[in-house]
Structure formats: C-alpha cells, structure tokens
C-alpha cells in the first residue's frame, strides 16, 4: 500500500490571514493572544485540508521562518537578545525584524536590536533568518513550540509527522560570526537533536521528517563525514527518521544518502528523476523511498499519466516501501485554486495550487492501489486539460519567436567602454561625491491601497485614479527634494508589485487573485503566471516617469524590473527552456528602456534582485545559467547611448562568488544589500576589482529601526577601504515600499547627512 504524505503546507492562509495578523500585532493594534489564535485557526484548517493523507506535516507552521524556529528550538539565540526577559515570542520577532512590536503611539516596545541576517532559501524566493554561531555556541533545547503543535494535531486526530530542519543543513546554512569551524559544534548540536527526537517519541510519534536539502549540493569530505557521523549518532533515537532532500539532484551524494542509517529517504523526483534508478540499486531492502512526484514549486497541473507510466514499475518493485509526496514543501505555491473567481477559465484549467496538488497525489495513489480504471475519469480530465494547453494559440506567438531567433550578441553591447561612458554621464548629471539615491519605491500608504482597490473594483474611474497616483508621486518628489537627495525616484505609487506590475502589461502573462506565496515574515508576493510567448504591446512606465521628471530639475530614475527577476519571480511555463522565456522578456524590457531614453530619462534602473537565486544549486551548472542570464540583462539594458546611466539593484543574496558575472552585466551603477551582513558582502572586493560604480546599502529597510548618521558613515568608510570613494553611492539596501513615512524620512535624513559628512573628507 503506497503511503501518501506531504512535506509542508503554505502557512499564510488562503486570504493571507497570517500576514494581516502579524502586521496588526507589530503595529500594536492587536494582542499576542489574538495573533496566537489566528495561528491556531490556520493550523487547524490546514490540517483539515490534509486529512486524507496517510501522514501530514506538523511543525511546518511558523510565525516568521522555519529556520528561525529551529534556532529557538535549539536555544541558539544571538548574544544581543539573550538577556531579554520578556515574552519569548517578542524575542523571536526581535531576531526576525529587529523589533517585536509597537505600542499604539508607535513607540518601540521590547527594545530594538540588529535583526538577524536574511538570505534566500536555496534557489527560491523564500528568505530565511541565518543562524549565528561562534566557537562558544551551545545549544539548549526548547521543544515547546513543536510539542504544542503536535498536541493540537493529535487532538484533531491527525496522523502527524513532525518536520524539522536537519542538523547538518542547519549548520551549513548558518554563519560563524567569529570565523570558527561550524562543524566543531556538531556533537553539542546532536545532543539537542537527540533530546528533541526522544521528546517526540515519548508523545507517540512514529515518523519524523528531517529536512536535509544540502544533500543536493556539492559537499566536501568534511561535510560528507558530518552526515554519516550525525545520523549514526541519531540512529539510537526511538523514532523513524525520513531524511528529506529537495530542489535538485543527489548525483554524487546518492550513495551517501542511500546508506544513511535512517528508516526512509525522500528525493525530489521532479528535478532528480535520474537519481531514482541508481538509488534503487543502493537502497537497503528495509528502507522506505519517498518520491516527490508532484512539483511543489510551480502551479501547472501534473501529467498524471506520464507519472504513472514511470511510477507503476517502481511500485511493483518497492511495494509498501514506496511513498509519494510533492517534490518539496508546498510553501512555495498558493493555497487553493478554488479561491480564484476571476482567473481566466482556460488558464485556470491548466493549474494546481497546494490543495489541488494533494488531490493529484490521491489520484496517483488510488491508481497505484486499485488500478487506473479506478480513477479513469480523473485521468481523462487531466489529459484533456494538458492537451488544451499544448494546442492553445494563446501560448504561441510566431512573431516573438522570430524576434528571439534574430537577436545576436550586438544587442548586448554598449557603444563605449565604462570609463568613457562614466565621463559623459558625469558631465551630464553633475552629481556630487557620494551621490545619494533610493532604490525605487516609497511607502504604499493606506490611501494608495484604497485608491488601487477602488479602481480595480470600478468605483474609482481612470481619471480619478491617475490623479490620486500623481498626487502621491508629487509627494514623493517633494519629500526627496526637501531631504536633499541627488537622484530621485517617482516612488512607484501606481505599482502593486515589482514583477506583477510589468506582467500585467505584457502579453503572455495571466494574473491570479489569491495566488499569494510567502517571501519572508509577513511579506507575501503574488507571482504572475507566465503561460505564453512574451511581448510588450505598449509603453509601461514612461508616462509616470516623465510626469515625475516634470516636477523637478534633479535627475529622475526610470524604474524597471529586469528580465531575470521577472522570470525568477513568476510561475514560469514548463513547456520550453527558461532561457528562452528570459530572452523574450529581455526584448520586451529593452523596448521600454529605449522609450524611456527617448522621453529624456537619463538614469534608468533595471532591478535584478533575483539574479543569484536562479543559480543552479551545483556550481558545475552555474556557468550555463549565468551565460544566458547575463546576456538577457545586457540585451535589456545596453541599447542606450553612452550618456544614459544604467543602474541595477540586487538584494539579500551572497554575491561574492559571482562577482565576475555581475561585472559582465556592465551596469554603470550597481546597488546591493550589505547592511544586515555588516558590509561582509564587500569582502568580495578584496579579491575582485569591480570596475564600475557601486552603492552598498547602508541601512536595513526590512527593520523598523532607524539608522544613525554615525552608523552610516562608519559603514561607508568600511566600503571606501575596498572601493575608491569616487565610485561609491549612498543608498538604502532595498525599496521602501513596506515602511511608513514616519520611519523613512528620519532614516533618509540621516543618510543624506552622512553623505554630506563624507564629502567633507573626500
């Protein structure tokens, strides 16, 4: 009998209930009990939606991040928060965002501290809080969160499978703040894991899912040894361990994974189907093999007949040792397609959200248990939808394909090398040393959101909506001029999301109403659905940008999202290579860049925040990705004249190992996140002579904490030790959309004051 289980479920709620509860609590508008109640209600609902599974995950729910949850479970708190004597949940939020909450009069409660460093979870758009270690780190188990959720699930009659981050992955994802060897902490860490597993066994748990996704990355001998050592230590525990890998292929780690002394192994059979046959030859005869056969990261329906053709022989071979599941946690897809009432009917018929993916699993399981005839109607319906998608004229545009075929390397070359361009841009723009700017967006106020909602609902006409957005743009320009910023932005009042906004204006995209997924904490994004060939029917940003430029004599940046980021932050069609879709996007953005330049815009920022997260998890595959990703950016950016200054922005990723590719993009100015890592990202410039201008983000916009002038000066002096001062810009580390004006204005005032101080000694 094939076992059906799930690795994790979206935690935010079909209507983003968790987001709104968190933000209400942080603003001091609701109580801790109210927040906890929303969490309990969501867990109960999500377990009900998984009630048909043989085993359902427990512990996958989090109020911010599952890696941060593991840090608190292990008692691994940064030194700066260990002396806190208040509520544990408030301390948790202090690590997550620098501050727990605010009182009604917006004074900080619970004391502001530096937030934990945040970076991307493997190659996804989910962000986790990086564990912090030193040589003196110890671990002190606090299993209360997981045990309380387990008790809730058991009271609901759930067949519970607790989910935890594995010890080796936890160490690998963390950062040694003192440069010590993290692996020297392994023994102490395993003692805490042993206590945790024994506590779960004492409460009747049979299986525990231990997530070890670093098994799909290249591991040196020390980390391979750490895996063997760790699981030989844990094998004495009284629970069965299912080690779960996902997001890629095991490849050379196949033997290691197959022979870990655990009861079961989960592998991603969507990305790593080629791993399965070798695994069958290596797997001990007692061990369960869980296959992730439904894509947990995209929203297209699965070809169930194709999967069955592949699965049925395996089921005959493995019998009860075969489990099936999604490829990874369903955290990365929206909750329920049944919420969608406005989505195009044809496209809707091609999709599956989290709930529907679990339905697909049940169809596969029933076919394996009772034969295909028992689910013939479901299989026929599935094939009809897939055939309709393949044949749809809305998917294929011959003109777009011809344009891509005709694109050559010349499209990606600037007229002159950087040094010549920089001189022409300096003469035109007349900027001071340490020029100041922001990354693009300003606060999305309640008034902006209300106007957008009314416009979408049809209760506000187009002229009134345009007037409301122009008023907000005018406010942003006034505030920036009053602050004394050097290069201004229009604030993006009219934009809902940096990817969705562009997707809405491109042919080949569709949009959901409730297709929300978590990016970090309460931050949710609604990725557009890239279903067909991409083209730009009309200009997308020119009118708003030229209006903003008309209000000021200072340079106004045109703000665009780059092709690689639009691709990586979309649900992308799976019927052609991603590189092909990216080049289509590049040609569309290139048209917009040229239209902005034609309209007199001389500074254009093309954000590539997601460049690094598209990297394959294995270094051996990086270059192929970087080749087409960099080419796509260059096609989008490099049709302009020398005197037009091209900026790009990247955030919350490690860039040190791809600096050559970033330099190859040949942007005139790059702005990057460095504040949360205390400028550690600039270590790359000790070994790489970056040729162009750079703005290291000097304050963390994801925290409500307001940076001081002195702190910003200190950070920029660190930057000037690596990069010539004449090539440095001063800017926040990301857009200001999620902040409030009351936080933004004093922070930017301090930033401008810091730049002026730096100019005095430049």
Question: Does residue 109 register a pLDDT over 70?
Answer: no
Q: Mean pLDDT across the stretch 570-599?
A: 97
CATH classification code of 53-60+67-75+120-391: 3.20.20.210
Question: Does residue 105 register a pLDDT over 50?
Answer: no
| % of the chain at pLDDT higher than 90 | 85
CATH architecture of 416-761: Alpha-Beta Barrel (3.20)
CB count in 10 Å sphere of residue 255: 13
What is the rounded CA–CA span in Å between residue 454 and residue 14?
22
Question: Does residue 398 register a pLDDT over 50?
Answer: yes
- Is residue 18 part of an annotated ligand binding site? yes
Question: Does residue 674 register a pLDDT over 80?
Answer: no
Q: Mean pLDDT across the stretch 59-79?
A: 97
Total-model pTM: 0.89
Tell me which residue of 397, 376, 286, 270 sits closest to 325, measured CA to CA: 270
pLDDT at site 103: 54
Question: Does residue 619 register a pLDDT over 50?
Answer: yes
The stretches of 104-208 forming alpha helices (DSSP H) are 144-155, 167-173, 186-202
Q: In the 8-state DSSP scheme, what is residue 337?
A: G
Lowest mean pLDDT segment, chosen from 46-60, 76-90, 358-372: 76-90
Beta bridge partners of 294: 326
Question: Does residue 311 register a pLDDT over 90?
Answer: yes
pLDDT at site 101: 81
pLDDT at site 65: 97
- Is residue 17 part of an annotated ligand binding site? yes
CB count in 10 Å sphere of residue 740: 14
Q: In what order do the strands lie in the sheet with 669-672?
A: 557-561, 603-607, 645-650, 669-672, 693-696
Q: Mean pLDDT across the stretch 510-523?
A: 94
Average pLDDT value over all residues in the chain? 94
Judge whether 53-60+67-75+120-391 and 416-761 match in fold.
yes
Question: Does residue 613 register a pLDDT over 90?
Answer: no
Give the list of residues 6+ apart from residue 315 with CB closer than 8 angstroms, or none.
2, 322, 368
Question: Does residue 106 register a pLDDT over 50?
Answer: no
Q: Mean pLDDT across the stretch 296-315?
A: 97
Run of H or E including 207: strand 207-211
Signed CA dihedral, 279, 280, 281, 286: sign only: positive
pLDDT at site 678: 60
Q: Mean pLDDT across the stretch 368-391?
A: 97
The residues assigned a catalytic role are 702
Question: Where in the chain are the domains?
Answer: 53-60+67-75+120-391, 416-761
pLDDT at site 654: 64
- Is residue 618 part of an annotated ligand binding site? no
> Any idea which residue has 């009900």 for tokens?
48
The model's confidence at residue 582, banded by pLDDT at 50, 70 and 90, is very high
- Is residue 19 part of an annotated ligand binding site? yes
Tens of pLDDT, residues 191-237 = 999 999 999 999 999 999 999 999 999 999 999 999 999 999 999 99
Tens of pLDDT, residues 7-35 = 999 999 999 999 999 999 999 999 999 99
- Is residue 523 part of an annotated ligand binding site? yes
Strands, E, within 110-158: which ranges? 118-120, 127-129, 132-133
Q: Mean pLDDT across the stretch 140-150?
A: 98
């Amino acid at each position: 009998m094939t076992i059906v289980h799930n690795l994790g479920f979206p935690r935010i709620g079909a209507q983003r209930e968790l987001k709104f509860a968190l933000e209400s609590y942080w603003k001091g508008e609701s109580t801790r009990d109210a927040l906890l109640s929303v969490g309990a209600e969501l867990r109960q609902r999500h377990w009900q939606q998984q009630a048909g599974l043989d085993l359902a995950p427990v512990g996958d729910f989090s109020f911010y991040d599952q890696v941060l949850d593991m840090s608190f479970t292990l008692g691994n708190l940064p030194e700066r928060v260990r002396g806190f004597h208040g509520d544990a949940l408030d301390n948790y939020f202090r690590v997550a965002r620098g501050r727990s909450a605010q009182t009604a009069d917006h004074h900080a409660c619970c004391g502001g501290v530096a937030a934990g460093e945040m970076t991307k979870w493997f190659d996804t758009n989910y962000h986790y809080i990086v564990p912090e270690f030193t040589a003196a780190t110890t671990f002190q188990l606090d299993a209360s969160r997981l045990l309380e959720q387990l008790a809730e699930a058991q009271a609901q009659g759930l067949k519970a499978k607790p989910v935890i981050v594995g010890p080796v992955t936890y160490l690998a994802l963390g950062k040694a703040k003192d440069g010590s060897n993290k692996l020297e902490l392994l023994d102490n860490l395993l003692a805490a894991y042993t206590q945790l597993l024994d506590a779960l066994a004492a409460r009747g748990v049979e299986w525990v899912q231990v997530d070890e996704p670093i098994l799909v990355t290249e591991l040196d001998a020390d980390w391979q040894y750490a895996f063997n050592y760790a699981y030989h230590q844990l094998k004495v525990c009284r629970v069965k361990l299912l080690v779960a890998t996902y997001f890629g292929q095991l490849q050379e780690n196949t033997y290691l994974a197959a022979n870990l002394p655990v009861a079961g192994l989960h592998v991603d059979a969507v990305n790593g189907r080629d791993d399965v046959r070798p695994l069958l030859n290596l797997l001990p005869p007692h061990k369960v093999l869980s296959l992730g056969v439904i894509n947990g990261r995209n929203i297209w329906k699965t070809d169930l007949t194709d999967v069955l053709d592949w699965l049925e022989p395996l089921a005959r071979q493995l019998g009860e040792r075969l489990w099936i599941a999604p490829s990874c946690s369903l955290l990365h897809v929206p909750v329920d397609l049944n919420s969608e009432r406005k989505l195009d009917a044809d496209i809707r018929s091609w999709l599956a959200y989290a709930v529907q993916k679990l339905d697909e699993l049940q169809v596969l399981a029933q076919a394996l248990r009772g034969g295909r005839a028992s689910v013939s109607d479901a299989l026929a319906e599935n094939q009809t939808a897939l055939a309709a998608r393949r044949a749809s004229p809305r998917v294929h545009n011959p003109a777009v394909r011809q344009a891509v075929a005709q694109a050559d390397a010349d499209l990606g070359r600037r007229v002159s090398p950087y040094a010549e361009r920089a001189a022409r841009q300096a003469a035109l723009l007349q900027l001071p040393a340490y020029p100041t700017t922001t990354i693009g967006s300003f606060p999305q106020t309640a008034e902006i959101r209300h106007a957008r909602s009314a416009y979408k609902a049809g209760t506000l006409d187009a002229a009134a909506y345009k007037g409301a957005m122009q008023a907000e743009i005018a406010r942003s320009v006034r505030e920036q001029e009053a602050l004394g910023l050097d290069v201004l932005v229009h604030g993006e009042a009219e934009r809902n999301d940096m990817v969705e906004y562009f997707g809405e204006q491109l042919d080949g995209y569709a949009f959901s109403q409730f297709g929300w997924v978590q990016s970090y904490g309460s931050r949710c994004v609604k990725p557009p659905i890239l279903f067909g060939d991409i083209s730009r029917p009309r200009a997308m940003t020119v009118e708003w940008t030229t209006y903003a430029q008309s209000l000021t004599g200072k340079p106004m940046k045109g703000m665009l999202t780059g092709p690689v980021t639009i691709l990586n932050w979309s649900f992308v069609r799976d019927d052609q290579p991603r590189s092909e879709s990216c080049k289509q996007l590049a040609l569309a953005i290139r048209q917009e860049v040229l239209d902005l330049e034609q309209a007199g815009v001389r500074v254009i920022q093309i954000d590539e925040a997601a460049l690094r997260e598209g990297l394959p998890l294995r270094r051996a595959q990086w270059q192929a990705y970087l080749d087409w990703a960099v080419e796509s950016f260059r096609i989008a950016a490099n049709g302009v004249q020398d005197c037009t200054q091209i900026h790009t922005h990247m955030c919350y990723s490690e860039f040190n190992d791809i600096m050559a590719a970033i330099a190859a993009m040949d942007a005139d100015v790059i702005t990057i996140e460095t504040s949360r890592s205390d400028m550690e990202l600039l270590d790359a410039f000790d070994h790489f002579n970056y040729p162009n201008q750079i703005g290291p983000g000097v304050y963390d916009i994801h925290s409500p904490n307001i940076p001081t002038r002195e702190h910003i000066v200190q950070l920029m002096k660190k930057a000037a030790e690596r990069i010539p001062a004449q090539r440095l810009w001063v800017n926040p580390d990301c857009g200001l959309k999620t902040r409030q004006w009351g936080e933004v204005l004093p922070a930017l005032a301090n930033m401008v004051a810091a730049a002026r101080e730096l100019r005095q000694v430049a």
